[in-house]
Chain A
Amino acid sequence: MQVGPLLLRNPFLLASGIWGESGRSLAGAWAAGAGGVITKSIGSAPRAGYPNPTIEEYDSWGLLNAMGLPNPGIDEYPREIHEARSAGATVIGSIFGGSAEEFARLAGRMAATGVVALELNLSCPHAEGFGTEVGSTPADVEEIVRAVRREVAIPVIAKITPNAADPAGLAAAAEKAGAAAISAINTVRALAIDVTLRRPVLAHGLGGLSGPAIKPVGLACVWQIYERVSIPVLGVGGIETADDALEYVMAGARAVEVGTAVTRGGIGVFARLAAGLSDRLDALGIRRLEDAVGIAHPSGS
């Protein structure tokens, strides 16, 4: 299937941050049926991330995490991408930087590894100097996307934060600067406190919430972004079933990313989603997924 300039074998991408530190893991997600795999966000230098606890698990809502952007750095990481690409995987490279210049430099290095597209992490909610801190105003988003576009020829996807007053405005800025697609959303800024200990559970304090709890938030963002931009939108946030994915598609997404569901149902979630989607499209009388994009909007498709 075609999603803007991206050719995907199915609409379910492995979201960034899950299984993406090693090439073998990315290859494993591909073998399990992901339509494409997005790497862990890679920065200029190796980064250990925050100390543990980096995770709080909720039975029904999902996960709270503050990993702190751990990654092996752009010098070491190409061997992992090589391993994933050797297994035939469609790999999208995620990068994070502290400035437009750093993003541009990383973009060039990442593009040279042979990834089919870049996803810019403009949205990690818990890393000082990165993510949301450089991607929460339209002007910043525009500057970063423009700098990256000057550097590389491959498609650029801007991953947008929900932790801003107007996520759709950020998406519009990315489109104006030449982004090929938008992915929305990253995790929702969140906190857990242990009342016995009277302190935050995560070592970093604040973290980001993912999983079923944030699906309605993601849907609202995709809905509003779809009304503001004409480039494709990748929906992400709490997708565990084919109907979750269809909600995103009807809100305006052309494909989706799946992350936390992997921890809740195993990597087999990709095969289940693909099978489930085909059943649901039949049952709902929708011929092709493309026909459902944005159809929940009053203006229809």
Chain B
Amino acid sequence: MRRIVEVTERVLETPSTVTLRFPYDPPADPGQFVMVWVPGDDELPMSLAYTDPRSKGITVKAMGDTSRRIQSIAAGARLGIRGPYGNRFDLSPRRVLIVGGGSGAAVLAPAAERAIQGGSTVTVALGATTAAELLFRGRFERMGARVEVATDDGSEGTHGFVTALVEGMLARERFDAIWTCGPEVMMQKVARAAAPLGVPVYCSVERHMKCALGMCDACALGPYHVCVDGPVFPAERLLPLEEFGRSHRDPSGRRVPFGSR
């Protein structure tokens, strides 16, 4: 059931990313998402960046018109929230590598928090276009994770994609699991790099969503519905799919290659 909440806090995380916090007490676990309705506007699926018992938070990157408008929402504004929906990260692995690209860190941060609280060691490979866009770097460091970064423009850390950084880390260190969220091509590369080493990879996947209840088929991905079978998938289920890393479906259900509009 949908609930109307009042935004209590707005935080500018990076020049293109904003966090909105609001009171919402249905229990949620890292990996899950909520449907966020801006009254008078659209409703979008948003991973939870904060999963505290009484308050939740979403971290929104300016992508389309609606996410831009969600970003401009001030404290005191009203949102309609339903959920949480979807599955969770399995927090049991002891040595976890987190690979976040762009706003993908939003869903990974609460997972890292819980894992560290549970006694796991967390290493983070964080990628962004430029240093100022590295999302939740400070949050990861404060919770006790070791963070390495890569930027497309070389303004900080490894110059290039985060996947190059990950390949180096996988060659040097051992991990029990990798959790990743970001551009699908990035997740695909991470999964392919980890496969020969036998390290299980879990990807948080994004698709256009309407019902979030496993009915409307908008988020169909191979035999799965991202809203109820995901959004977290073991990479070995995704790699064989012809769509993974290549195409998604637009609101009409047409298959559209990534990177085209």
The answer to whether A263 and B211 have CB atoms under 8 Å apart is yes
Determine the chain B residues whose CB is within 8 A of the CB of A262 once the complex forms. 214-215
Interface stretch of the complex, out of B167-175, B198-206, B219-227: B219-227
**Shortest Cβ distance from A70 into B: residue:** B252
Answer whether residue B42 sits at the interface, using C-beta atoms and an 8 A cutoff: yes
Size class of the contact patch on chain A: 35 or more
A21 with B42: CB separation less than 8 A:
no
Cβ 8 A contact of A19, one of B80, B210, B217 = B217
Total residues of chain B contacting the partner, CB 8 A: 34
On whether the beta carbons of A55 and B211 are closer than 8 Å, the reply is: yes
Interface residue? B197 (CB, 8 A): no
Shortest beta-carbon distance from A278 to chain B in Å:
26
Query: Which residues on B sit within 8 Å (CB–CB) of A65?
Result: 211
Residue A5 lies at the interface, judged by CB distance under 8 Å to chain B: no
Which B residues between 212 and 261 are near A, CB-CB below 8 angstroms?
A: 212-218, 220, 222-223, 225, 249-255
State which of A110-118, A164-172, A196-204, A226-234 sits at the interface with chain B: A196-204
B78-93 contact mask (Cβ, 8 Å, vs A): 1 or 0: 1010100000000000
Complex: A58 Cα to B213 Cα, angstroms: 12
Q: How far is the CB of A140 from chain B (nearest CB, A)?
A: 26
B147-182 CB contacts (< 8 Å) to partner A: none
Task: Say yes or no: A18-B217 contact (C-beta < 8 A), given A49-B251, A52-B43, A70-B253.
Answer: yes
Given known pairs A19-B217, A53-B43, the reply for A48 and B82 (CB within 8 Å) is no
Q: Is B2 an interface residue (CB 8 A)?
A: yes
B222→A24 contact, CB < 8 A = yes
Output the least CB separation between B77 and chain A (Å): 12
Q: Is the CB of B251 within 8 A of A70?
A: yes
- B24 contacts which chain A residues (CB < 8 A)? none
Instruction: Flag whether B1 is at the interface (Cβ < 8 A).
Output: yes
- Smallest Cβ distance from A260 to chain B, in angstroms? 7
Q: SS class of chain A's interface: helix, strand, loop or mixed?
A: loop
**Contact (A197, B78) CB under 8 Å given A25-B225, A63-B215, A263-B213:** yes
Whether B211 and A54, one on each chain, are in contact in the complex, defined by CB atoms closer than 8 angstroms, is: yes
Check if B42 sits within 8 Å of A51, measured CB to CB.
yes
Q: Which candidate, A71-79, A88-96, A181-189, is the interface stretch facing chain B?
A: A71-79
Please encode chain A, from 1 to 31, with 1 for each CB lying within 8 Å of some chain B CB and 0 for all others.
0000000000000000111111011011000
Q: Decide if B140 is an interface residue (CB 8 Å cutoff).
A: no
Residues of A within 8 A of B217 (CB): 18-22, 25, 40
* Choice from B210, B220, B251, B253 contacting A55 with Cβ under 8 Å: B210
Residue of B nearest to A80 (CB): B253
A260 to B215, CA, bound (A): 7
Question: Do B80 and A52 touch across chains, with their CB atoms under 8 A apart?
Answer: no
Please give me the residue from chain A that is nearest to B1 by CB atom. A57
Residue contact B225 to A53, C-beta cutoff 8 Å: no
Output the nearest chain A residue to B225 by Cβ-Cβ distance: A25
Interface residues of A in 252-292 (CB under 8 A from B): 259-260, 262-263, 266
Near B by CB (< 8 A), chain A positions 34-86 give 40, 46-49, 51-59, 63, 65, 67, 70-73, 76
Min distance, Cβ B78 to any Cβ of chain A, angstroms:
7
Specify which chain A residues have a CB less than 8 angstroms from the CB of B42 in the assembled complex: 51-52, 203
Q: State which residues 53-93 of B face A: CB under 8 Å.
A: 78, 80, 82
B44/A52 in contact, CB under 8 A:
yes
Q: What B residues does A72 contact at CB under 8 A? A: 252-255
B37 within 8 Å of A (CB atoms)? yes
Which residue from chain A places its CB closest to the CB of B254 in the assembled complex? A72
Q: Are the CB atoms of B2 and A201 closer together than 8 Å? A: yes
- Scoring A22, A54, A72 by chain B CB atoms within 10 A of each residue's CB, the highest score goes to A22
Asked whether, in the complex, the Cβ of A194 is within 8 Å of the Cβ of B4, the reply is yes
Q: Which 10 A-B pairs have the closest CB atoms?
A: A52-B43, A21-B217, A21-B253, A48-B251, A22-B220, A46-B252, A263-B215, A263-B213, A72-B253, A72-B254
Q: Can you report 10 residue pairs joining A to B where beta carbons are below 8 Å apart?
A: A21-B220, A21-B253, A28-B223, A40-B217, A52-B210, A53-B2, A67-B211, A70-B251, A76-B254, A76-B255
Residues of A with Cβ closer than 8 Å to B? Answer: 17-22, 24-25, 27-28, 40, 46-49, 51-59, 63, 65, 67, 70-73, 76, 194, 196-197, 199, 201, 203, 259-260, 262-263, 266
